[in-house]
Structure 1
Amino acid sequence: MRPMFFGSVLGIGGLANGWRVASRLWGVPVEIGEGLALLAFGLWALWCVLYAGKWLRYPQEARADLRHPVQALLAALIPVTTLIASMAIGPHVPLLGWVMFAAGVAGVVVFAAWSIGGLWQGGRDVAHTTAILYMPTVGGGLVAALACAWFGQTTLGWMYFGLGLISWMSMESVLLSRLFNHALPVDLRATMGVHLAPPAVACVAYLMLDPGPASPVALALFGYGCFLALVMIRLVPWLRQQPFGPGAWAYTFGVSALPLAALRLVEKGAGAPLAIMALPMFAVANLIIGWIAARSLVLVWRFVGDLSREA
């Protein structure tokens, strides 16, 4: 069990939030969004138990993950998905939601300081520079900002928004320079899915923190997210050279956040073309995440079958 498994919580939780907004906009059954939210919480709890078990039974392997130049930064998914799970369970068990929210925002900033402090010491191979670099500060900061807005902590939310937004702006050129000059190995191409997420998540966080109507800032963030989505579509044949695996869930962070941003913009009064774009974008996101979930279940079934045969 590795931290990358927590990526499934991002996709399912993001989709749940999309269905929650869709229920307000279009009157779809609220049970769909709440069911997905509880599924996201259940996955988060399962991965937490399994990851804790790994530390208890195989501590050397767990420590090795934290020393890996790429995989180590994926540990940021633990506090980030804790925040996603807190928003999922909060409406049903408020006290538990608040406890998880507090643990998540603290975990985000502690892990970000620890991991970025290590990067500042230099010596990093360019081959290890991938969009996973976004996770501790960009992903952590923006999801924390979104969660702060959800729990009514707007002042703290703007502080986390600054952490995420400024980190993204400073890292974007570093990652683009790496992509322009050094080919990404096949086994790391799923990390490109993370590259889609920052503008979309920043847009959602901004809309939740700002009580007013849809602003030009939010529209600008959404526009850049749409551009990155087009780039990703152009890269599909290249990306599919990597065999399907758990890393595919990295795509779901941005895939779920971009239509959520569109839905929130429509909810805040943005007119055409957002009102036209929101429904097909949301439908496509459901299809993509559903396909990834189905493929993942097939892998799990095969894995269980292999274990039973060995037994």
Structure 2
Amino acid sequence: MTGVALASAFRLRPLAALASPREVIRQFTPNWFAATMGTGILSLTLAQVPGAPAWTRGLAEGLWGLNIGLFGLFAALYAARWVMFPGEARRIFGHALMSMYFGCIPMGLATIVNGLLLFGAPRWGQAAVEGAQLLWRVDAGLSVACGLAVPFLMFTRQGHSLEKMTAVWLLPIVACEVAAVTAGLLAPRLADPADRLQTLVAGYALWALSVPMALGVLAILFLRMVAHSLPPVAMAASNWLALGPIGTGALGLLVLGGASPILAGAGLADVAGAARGVDLIGGLLLWAYGLWWMAMAVMTTLRYLKGGLPFNLGWWAYTFPLGVFAAATLRLAALLPIPALTGFAQLLVAALAAIWVLVAGRTLAGAWRGELFSAPCLAEDGVAR
């Protein structure tokens, strides 16, 4: 084959599964933001692994930069869909599955804000902190909106049943506790004492808006598994989502407890000491509870693998839940003098990195061919009532 023929063939390969490049925008859905969640949590955990080689910090910062680019690209594509195809874009509100992924947008943004504190503050100082504060307020607002609006749509416009339930129900709910973690990281860095206290209190409020509800959903999910067995293979990765609110909930308590000196500075020294102790014990208990769900996720995944596990964008569910659990383990290892916790955290981050490489590679290949651009809400009306 001549060079011209090779070049021609190469030009025909991208988006071959789509009728036209415009279909990328028309078929773009919020579940793509799960890729920013997985990439972001890998960058954050990789930079905090004790004993890691010095180059991992640079790699982690590079992944954070990549994540900013991905989030910007996805935001532009999704905004373009609303501008170019507003009628079709609105159909997501009635779709019982795809609407859950609205929660991925603020959660993906939160990883960027956390990276701004971790990577940006050493470079740009207080300007980075002020930028993080502004973005966190946007993120918290989006998280609360998702946590209220999507369940309301579930109650009023969508059709759901226990048999069809999966852990995807958790996505719009968990966004608030992810924002709570950011609040705990941000608050101690703020210059104004009033801002510090308000952000810390808001962090606790965001945690409370999410974790109790998520634990209730997990109880129902357990019942669904017992009554109706595992979800279909296309939703196999969703079993890992159960680990997300537990890992994030534990991390949130540990981070908020670490910011408890803010309470002492506000004249609440007794409350500060109690908060630190309660948050440590509460975080430890949630973390231990997460071990059960992680073990169950591993076992169910192995069972799915026996029959074959086709790739889809849902595979990103293997990354973020594992990542936040790894982050909680890293935080516990820093607080408790137990070497085994450090070793376990290192193992989790290594597993996360390996899974990310696999999923990112498959996603890139599927996006190049156009196979992953498919909006279920266009293929069906969704079950509305």
TM-score higher than 0.5: yes
8 A Cα contact 1:70 1:128, kept in partner: no
Alpha-carbon displacement from aligned partner over 1:280-308 (angstroms, at most 9, x marks no partner): 2221111111211122122223339xxxx
| Alignment of 1:171 onto 2:206 | no
| Alignment of 1:206 onto 2:253 | yes
Consecutive unaligned residues in structure 2, runs of 5 or more: 1-27, 121-127, 188-198, 259-275, 372-385
Letter in 2 for 1:45: G
Q: Secondary structure at the match of 1:151?
A: helix
| Alignment of 1:14 onto 2:41 | yes
Q: Distance in 2 between matches of 1:286 and 1:49?
A: 27
Q: What does residue 130 of structure 1 align with? A: 166
| CA-CA distance at 1:57 after TM superposition | 1.4
Q: What does residue 103 of structure 1 align with? A: 138
What value does the CA root-mean-square deviation take over the aligned residues? 2.2
- What is the count of residue pairs matched by the alignment? 302
Q: Distance in 1 between matches of 2:287 and 2:314?
A: 25
8 A Cα contact 1:126 1:178, kept in partner: yes
8 A Cα contact 2:240 2:294, kept in partner: no
Q: What does residue 83 of structure 2 align with? A: 56
Q: Aligned ranges for residues 191-230 of structure 1 at < 5 Å?
A: 191-211=238-258, 212=276, 215-230=280-295
Moved more, 259-268 or 112-121: 112-121
Q: Distance in 1 between matches of 2:77 and 2:240?
A: 25
Q: Distance in 2 between matches of 1:159 and 1:270?
A: 30
8 A Cα contact 1:190 1:242, kept in partner: no
| Alignment of 1:189 onto 2:252 | no
Moved more, 147-156 or 272-281: 272-281
Consecutive unaligned residues in structure 1, runs of 5 or more: 305-311
Q: What does residue 272 of structure 2 align with? A: none
Q: Distance in 2 between matches of 1:254 and 1:123?
A: 27
Q: Distance in 1 between matches of 2:81 and 2:330?
A: 39
Q: Which has the higher contact order (CA 8 A, sep 6+)?
A: 2
CA distance 1:64–1:265, shift in 2 (3 Å): same
Q: 2:365 aligns with which of 274, 293, 298?
A: 298
Q: TM-score, normalised by structure 2?
A: 0.73
Q: Secondary structure at the match of 1:243?
A: coil
8 A Cα contact 1:66 1:75, kept in partner: no
8 A Cα contact 1:69 1:128, kept in partner: no
8 A Cα contact 1:108 1:136, kept in partner: yes
Q: What does residue 74 of structure 1 align with? A: 101
Q: Distance in 1 between matches of 2:234 and 2:342?
A: 38
Q: Distance in 2 between matches of 1:76 and 1:281?
A: 24
Q: Among all aligned residue pairs of Structure 1 and Structure 2, give the percentage whose two residues are the same amino acid.
A: 23
Q: Distance in 2 between matches of 1:123 and 1:299?
A: 30
Structure of higher CA gyration radius: 2
Q: Distance in 1 between matches of 2:254 and 2:44?
A: 14
Letter in 2 for 1:149: G
Q: Aligned ranges for residues 141-180 of structure 1 at < 5 Å?
A: 141-152=176-187, 153-180=199-226
| Alignment of 1:284 onto 2:378 | no
Alpha-carbon displacement from aligned partner over 1:243-269 (angstroms, at most 9, x marks no partner): 101111122111211221111111223
Q: Distance in 1 between matches of 2:153 and 2:103?
A: 14
8 A Cα contact 1:105 1:144, kept in partner: yes
| CA-CA distance at 1:123 after TM superposition | 5.5
CA distance 1:128–1:65, shift in 2 (3 Å): farther
